[in-house]
Amino acid sequence: MSDIFIPGVKSRFETEKLIDNLMKLERLPKERAQKNVDDLEKQKQIWQEVGIRMRALRESARVLFSFQNPFSERIARSADEAVLTAEATREAREQERSFSVKRIAEADRFLSDPLPADYRVPSGEYEFTVGDAEIVVPFRGGSVGDFTEAVGRRGKGKLGASSIVVQPGTRSLVIEALVTGEENRLGFRKDAEKLALETRIVERIDDKERKPAIDGASLRGVPPAAAPSQAVSTAGTLSVTAGGQARIVVSPAVRAEGGMSLEFEFRSVSRPSEEAAAEGPPQGPSIPPTGSATYGGITIQSDPSTVPLPPWTPPAVPPRVDDLNLVRLSFTDGTSADIPPFADSGDFVRHSFPLSDFGAGKTLSAIDLVNRNTHRDASIRSVRVFDAQARGGLKPKNPISLAADALVEMDGIEVERPSNVVDDLIPGVKVTLRGKSTSPVKLSVEPDRNAAKEAVIALVGNYNKLIAETNVLTRLDGQVIRELDYLSKDEAKAMEEKLGALQGDSTLNQFKATLQRAASTPYATSSDRDLSLLSHIGVSTDASRSGTGGGYDVSRLRGYLEIDEKKLDSALKDRLGSVKELFANDTDGDLINDSGFAIKVDELTKSYVETGGILSLKTGGIDTRIAQDKRRIETMDAQLIAKEDDLKRKYGLMEGALNRMESTSGSIDQFNKNSNQ
């Protein structure tokens, strides 16, 4: 029967309190089971946190022997970053190179004369060229600013325009190519050419280009020789063998001024030295036979005549001549200038030079190919003298910069590239040219020792965090937490809640002992005993050193690793290979690392953190016990509800019976009272 509640009336027997007290006793098993579940969940969380620490340690160990290990990282260092910088990949080998940046790659950038502030660009189809690319900008007419915006929208990343105030009250128009390299010259067509001429971006010039003929009829000898020697011209190519010479006439002569430049393709091939065949002494004069006599069928030959010869001394072998100054410019005033020497190359290489670098103000009349070598052949072709500033009969009037390839000399070898980013000179190294150099700049490629150091520090850090975790979980001494002075207040409080939580767990204690043994075990390296322990690179549990005295510091006996950075830096500098082997090494030649501290850490933690490993079994067992206890709690909840309902029913019946008895007793008393009257 359900409870009966009458407002303003309270049970005289306090049945609700009685039921609550009885139910508290009945709930004790459930509360114990719930506390056990809470403890198990806390224990599971602790194991999960231990797993996180172990995984972090394993990952930092695997970094040291994985394919991307830091010992294989390379870094490029430039002696002058204002001249060039570089980035190296893992494929680059250790090396040092010498660079001279003679010219950086540039793009055409032209400036107009000052224009009125209200200058209007007329409508039209403005056609530009950047190298082989054609860019058409349709424009309805408008201000200089409107025109630059239209060019920017249609520029395709190759053409740009802007306006700048050069003089107060005026604006100047800047048209520029956005890609570097001599082949990416900026050109103007149709309305673009009209605008460029009108705004004085360019001006018309006479074509001064010369392409000297290279054939037998036009070649001359280099004075004092009247004719070329050991020279052959074939299909526009002049070849001069060792000891030969020839002159290419530039007609009409060209004055070395403005942007006049010389361009040609050149090749020189060194032949192996040919040793002269060993010659014996001269045979002497030829003497006819002296004759013979025959008598009685017997023929007797006379002795041959002989001529005594003087002692013979073989002639000296001609000295080998090496002279890479093969090309020379001759001027009308009788002077000449050698072009810097070129390295031997089996293929033709294009070269370009401003004439003003060799004879400013002089007039070029000839190009001489003089081969003074004894074992080298030289060839030249595609000779051209031209105005580098000219653009199809147009010349920029106010050039800010002119399209040019970068000219770089690496270890004495000159190379040209259309971009300032060069990634095909040194395998695995990308060089970025920043400016011209006045002297050679050293570029060194070396191991990234800082990356290796950071990886070692990360490993030691994760090792110490795991050791600290195990010390807290397996000890009841609060001192182990106070020693961790790097913890925040919240972290220290969380550690205090876990203090001694796994004190009796042999698994964690065994893991800690094995890990510490791995840190003190010697490993095979190429340096043998000189570098076989972590302590040899400055990583150790230095328990004998104290902060203020010579005694033992208890905190140093907990198994934490310390790093002597100077010692580690020295080991990484002098014995990088051995340091790598200390952490991971292939000792049996099967291309699989089988020795080293990082390998041992990986093997040890793997059995704990992998799927189905020790930690999975631990947490899996806890999950099973939690599930069992939760099912018991669900059963007990149902039983407690039924129990409470039963108690309420019984106490309700009891209280109802008492009420009826009291009512009956009152009726009897009233009857007796009435009877007595």
Please tell me the predicted confidence (pLDDT) of residue 279: 59
> Which residue in 541, 558, 548 sits closest to 477, CA to CA?
558
**What is d(CA 534, CA 68) in angstroms, rounded to the nearest whole number?**
22
Q: What's the Rg (C-alpha) of the chain?
A: 49
Classify burial at 66, counting beta carbons within 10 Å of its beta carbon; exposed 0-12, middle 13-18, buried 19 or more. Answer: middle
Neighbours of 339 (CB within 10 A): 19
CB 474 within 8 A of CB 509: yes
Tokens of 404: 């040019």
Secondary structure E strands in 388-450: 394-396, 399-401, 406-410, 413-417, 421-426, 429-433, 441-447
In angstroms, the CA 78 to CA 558 distance is 45
Which amino acid belongs to residue 426? Answer: I
Task: Give me 21's structure tokens.
Answer: 């007290």
Strands 345-354 and 394-396: unpaired
Q: Is 286 exposed, middle or buried (0-12, 13-18, 19+ CB in 10 A)?
A: exposed
Three-state secondary structure of 306-344: CCCCCCCCCCCCCCCCCCCCCEEEEECCCCEEECCCCCC
Q: Where are the alpha helices (DSSP H) in 108-189?
A: 144-154
* DSSP at 215: S
H or E stretch at 160: strand 159-164
What is the rounded CA–CA span in Å between residue 568 and residue 565? 5
Q: 593-633 pLDDT, tens per residue? A: 999 999 999 999 999 999 889 999 999 999 999 999 999 98
Measured in whole angstroms, the distance separating CA 403 from the mean position of its chain's CA atoms is 30
d(CA 480, CA 21): 44
Could you give the CA distance from residue 61 to residue 567 in angstroms, rounded to a whole number?
Answer: 20
Distance CA(428)–CA(448), nearest Å, equals 14
Closest alpha carbon to 106 in 222, 162, 184: 184
Q: Residue 48: phi, psi to the nearest 5?
A: -65, -40
Would you list the DSSP string of 443-478?
EEEEE-HHHHHHHHHHHHHHHHHHHHHHHHHH---T
Strand partners, 526: none
Tell me where in the chain the CATH 2.60.120 domain(s) lie. Answer: 229-270+322-446
Phi and psi dihedrals of 450, rounded to 5? -65, -40
Going by C-beta distance under 8 Å and a sequence separation of 6 or more, which residues neighbour residue 90? 68, 72, 73, 74, 428
Contacts of 18 (CB under 8 A, 6+ apart): 651
CB distance 108 to 396 below 8 Å: yes
E strands, 272-319, where? 292-295, 298-301
Residues in the chain: 677
**What is d(CA 578, CA 594) in angstroms, rounded to the nearest whole number?**
15
The DSSP string of 28-85 is HHHHHHHHHHHHHHHHHHHHHHHHHHHHHHHHHHHHTTSTT-GGG-EEEEES-TTTEE
Written as six digits, the tokens of 91 are 């494929």
The number of beta carbons lying within 10 Å of the beta carbon of residue 536 is 20
The residue type of 77 is R
Q: Is the dihedral of CA 519, 520, 523, 529 positive or negative?
A: positive
Question: Which pair of structure tokens corresponds to residue 271?
Answer: 């032949």
Q: Are 444 and 456 in contact (CB under 8 A)?
A: no
State the residue for tokens 């150091």: 453
Give the C-alpha separation, 73 to 68, whole Å.
Answer: 8
CATH topology assigned to domain 229-270+322-446: Jelly Rolls (2.60.120)
Cβ neighbours, 10 Å, residue 76: 23
* Interatomic CA distance for residues 393 and 207, integer angstroms: 6
User: DSSP of 86-115, one letter per residue?
Assistant: EEE-TTPPSEEEEEEEEE--B--EEEPPPE
The amino acid that residue 150 corresponds to is A
Q: Cis (ω within 30 of 0) for the bond into 252?
A: yes
The closest of 32, 86, 115 to 445, measured between CA atoms, is: 86
Q: Tokens 């919240």 correspond to what residue?
A: 490
Position 301 scores a pLDDT of 77
Per-residue model confidence as pLDDT tens digits over 346-386:
889 888 888 988 988 899 999 999 999 988 999 999 999 98
What is the rounded distance in angstroms from the CA atom of residue 85 to the CA atom of residue 639? Answer: 79
Structure confidence at residue 302 (pLDDT): 75
Which tokens sit at 519? Answer: 């840190």
Q: Measured on CA atoms in the order 596, 598, 601, 606, is the torsion positive or negative?
A: negative
Round to whole Å and give the CA distance between 495 and 510: 21
Q: Which residues of the chain have pLDDT under 50?
A: 1-2, 5, 7-8, 275-277, 543-544, 546-548
How far from 327 is each of 224, 268, 671, CA to CA, in Å? 17, 11, 152
Other Cβ atoms closer than 10 A to 166:
15
